[in-house]
Structure 1
Amino acid sequence: MSDIFIFSGLFCQADAVVKRLIDDTGCKLITDNDLVADASSLSGMNEKAIAKAFSPKTSIFNKFSHEKERAVAWLRLALAKRLAEGENLLVSGFVTQLLSQDISHVLKVCIIDDVQKRVECALNDEGLSEKEAVKVLQQADEEKTVWVREVTGSTDPWADNLYDMVIPVGKTGVDESVALIKEQLGNAVVNVTEASKKAVQDFLLAAKVASFLVSKGHNVDVKADDGAIVLSINKKVLMVERLENDLREIAEPIEGVKSVDFKFGKEYYEADIYRRMDFELPSRVLLVDDEREFVKTLSERLMLRDLGSAVVYDGESALDVVQDDEPEVMILDLKMPGIDGIEVLRRVKTNRPNIEVIILTGHGSDQDRKTCMELGAFAYLNKPVDIEVLSATLKEAYAKLRNS
């Protein structure tokens, strides 16, 4: 039997439709949470980091860590593995948009309704006020719009061309919606065929290659056709031949790969430069200093050494980043307006003890040094600091973090 993929808007009775389909067809339900768990097991990334991929808010460190891209690659592999197992699946949620291969026996369904009917559903089923319902709907639709744009390129998450069926559930009702989907399942067009099985294997191989590449620090688009792999390079490359050789060395030994070819994607001529991710170096470094020109320059000098960093200018902002984005290493000034560096250090080591903190100050005393080290600072450095000394200290702090 065919597999069913359902993507839906909030307050569109999708849960009721899914439940009825499970009862009527005996399909096995696969949710976002299931594939997050699978992807975590495959990759070694923690589930929380993978689940963040669905959020429209991208970490300030993502430019360097590429955590979102890595999570998406492993989620796609997890989905491909489930499809390749050959069970009758009903996949529901964000992950349905990760099907980048045209597989004819996968019935892609969108369940949606007009905003007013969704608001009424929220009022009746959830007991929300109209103002609350509108706000929740806007947030949910923003999340799905950003996600669909990131993984498909479409600016409209409900666009007809993304699905085999778009069902306005408020007009059809749950019963008729279920009946329409079951009727379409009986259509010979969505039967499992040798060609559709091959498409699943192509999707699986492409996802496997992409995950191997991302684990080695490369983020490129991958397509597969009967073992022939095409890698799309979407950023300007300084040494194309060297990159192609690196990618071939990783991809060619993978079981099932017969050939590796390249093409330049639509973003190749943009100004951004392709950079390989180096997981031996810290990519989530937070610089905290109220001397704006100094800290901006410091960040640029670290980036030249492939040490990715983000910058904030006060203690309160630093604590917000720690809460939301969890840096690996923090370089912290002591004397700042508002919450000073010692208080930031105290709170960070209390609430996020795994974050390594390097104190870098031009105004500290011997007592400050003693206090900071007693609070758990990794190192205490004075301005001006030699950039090579700071870089080496950063790497030592990250090594300690990785080995802990």
Structure 2
Amino acid sequence: MSSIAIFPCRHTPAENIAKELAHRLTLKIYTDDNLITDTAAEFGISEDKLRNAMFGKTSVFNKFTLEREKLINMFRHTLYQKLNSTHQWLFDGFLTSLIPASISHVLKVLVVAPHAERVSYARSVGMSEKQAQKSRKEFDKLAYGWTDFLFNKEAYESSLYDLVIPVAQKTETELVETIIKCFHTTSVLHTNESQQAVSDMLLMTEIEHILLEKGHKIGIVVVNRDVTLTVEEDVFNLRKLEEELSDLARQVEGVGKITVKQSPGAKNSIYRRQKFELPSKVLFVDDEKEFVQTVSERLISRDVGTYGVYDGEAALELVNEDQPDVMVLDLKMPGLHGVEVLRQTKELAPEVEVIVLTGHGTMDDMQQCMELGAFAYMNKPVDIEELSATIKAASEKAAAAVGKNLTSKKG
């Protein structure tokens, strides 16, 4: 059955037309909140984590953990069940972006207006100029962050939708009539081909799940059960990777022909499978930028996921917003001293394991750091293998502490 999906554009009449469309066309409304609640129930994931995956910033460690991709994959699986049901839906929210364009019996709609018109609309419903500007900017930041992550495109890019309607002083009634007129065209009919696209969505979702669990982030397209896997980076041994990816994809029942290719615009970086058994959330804190970059590159080459900042204030901000498992910390830095960073880190997040790595420390510094809860105290220059081994041990301790906390909460 045919359905409608509306991507939100705050402070336009589109905010109020969903109920009218649903009433006129006998559609069942399904929102982002519904998707989050259903996905949490299906997969046993907290709603806060899912909400952050949809509306929050991408973690600086995400390229090593692929956590956001995994959570979005769960969204897709839940959404597939709705698309495969006999209901006619009015999908309302960011979830519109998760519906493949090939599912042609879902009309994807964007009602949009210039910034000035949106601010004027917000003021007409009681907001001040300042409130309206702030609200619009905050919402657009969320929307752009979402579509940029999914498609590398802006939220209001017309190619993402079947129908784009500029408000241009249209009333809510006129907007509803325009959408209904398009909805009743033959291009939105439910056909065998569009239903096959729903089945292809499930295959794509299941293949993506298997690949992500094995540490692979790959472009996936499924058409009539035939699968194309696209690698976006340079590859040392494409044939070996092709065999590995094909073997994984064949684990999904119903898959047809599998093609693995490299993107014509492949990035200069080398493709790496993420190894989740190794540390993936390591924060490196040192004011010597070249040292941070060099050591981080050497750790990443050993599959240790590392992100660097260059002062104590930035480190604490990141601990508060995007908590690492392990911190590698210099002591003598401009601004906040490393010992104070260690102290505040342990207050903010006691489970973060801190490895002090310094070239100017004293015995008193070492004693103070260990008393504050440092996992290890190391001196520069450091052997990269010794540092890697220490980070791994610290990561294992941090993971054990998190597991213990989860168990105690369940109890």
**TM-score, normalized by length of structure 2?**
0.87
Q: Does residue 27 in structure 1 map to residue 27 in structure 2?
A: yes
- What are the residue-to-residue correspondences of 1:154-193 with 2, within 5 Å? 154-155=153-154, 157-159=156-158, 161-169=159-167, 171-193=169-191
- How far does residue 209 in structure 1 lie from its aligned partner after superposition? 0.8
Aligned-partner Cα distance in 2 for 1:94–1:118? 19
Render the CA deviation track for 1:346-374: whole Å, top value 9, x for unaligned. Answer: 22222222322112233444444343334
- In 2, distance between residues paired with 1:271 and 1:43? 36
- Which residue matches 1:328? 325
Establish whether residue 202 from structure 1 lines up as the match of residue 200 from structure 2.
yes
Looking at structure 1, the residues matched to 189 and 325 of structure 2 have their Cα atoms a distance apart, in angstroms, of 49
Secondary structure of 2:234's partner?
coil
Offset at 1:109?
0.9
Displacement of 1:233: 1.7
SS in 2 for 1:108: strand
1:79-130 CA-to-partner distances (Å, cap 9, x unmatched) read 223312343222122221222341121011111123322111211224222x
Would the alpha carbon gap of residues 49 and 329 (structure 1) be closer, same or farther in structure 2, given more than 3 Å must change? farther
Measured in 1, the distance between the counterparts of 2:145 and 2:291 equals 35
CA offsets 1:185-225 (integer angstroms, 9 cap, x no match): 33343232222211111112112211221121111111223
User: Could you tell me which residue of structure 1 aligns to residue 64 of structure 2?
Assistant: 64
Summarize deviations over 1:127-160 as a string: whole Å, max 9, x none.
Answer: 222x44234324433443453344345457241x
Structure-1 residue corresponding to 2:408: none
Contact kept, 8 Å, 1:101 with 1:203, in 2: the verdict is no
Q: Which residue of 1 aligns with 2:135?
A: 136
Q: Are 1:312 and 2:312 matched, yes or no?
A: no
Cα distance in 1 between the residues matched to 2:147 and 2:116:
23
8 Å CA contact retained: 1:77, 1:211: no
Letter of the structure 2 residue corresponding to residue 319 of structure 1: L
Q: Taking structure 1 as the reference length, what is the TM-score of the superposition?
A: 0.89
1:1-400 counterparts in 2 under 5 A?
1-39=1-39, 47-54=47-54, 57-129=57-129, 131-155=130-154, 157-159=156-158, 161-169=159-167, 171-268=169-266, 270-400=267-397
* Structure 1, unaligned runs of 5 or more: none
Report percent identity of matched pairs: 41
What CA distance in whole angstroms lies between the structure 1 residues aligned with 2:356 and 2:43? 33
Q: In the TM superposition, what is the alpha-carbon distance from 1:3 to its structure 2 partner?
A: 1.6
In structure 2, the CA distance between the partners of 1:104 and 1:294, relative to structure 1 (3 Å rule), is closer
RMSD: 2.6
> For residue 378 of structure 1, what is the amino acid of its counterpart?
F
DSSP 3-state at the match of 2:260: strand
Which secondary structure does the structure 2 equivalent of 1:311 belong to?
Answer: strand
Which structure 2 segments of 5+ residues have no match? 404-411
Distance (Å, rounded) in 1 between the aligned partners of 2:103 and 2:117: 33
Residue-pair matches, total = 401
- SS in structure 1 at match of 2:302: coil
CA contact (8 A) 1:110 1:158 kept: no
> After the TM superposition, which of the residue ranges 138-147 and 168-177 deviates more from structure 2?
138-147
- SS of the aligned residue for 1:286 comes to strand
Assess if the C-alpha contact under 8 Å between 1:112 and 1:158 holds in 2.
no
* One-letter identity of the residue aligned with 1:133: A
Could you tell me how far 1:5 is from its partner in structure 2? 0.6
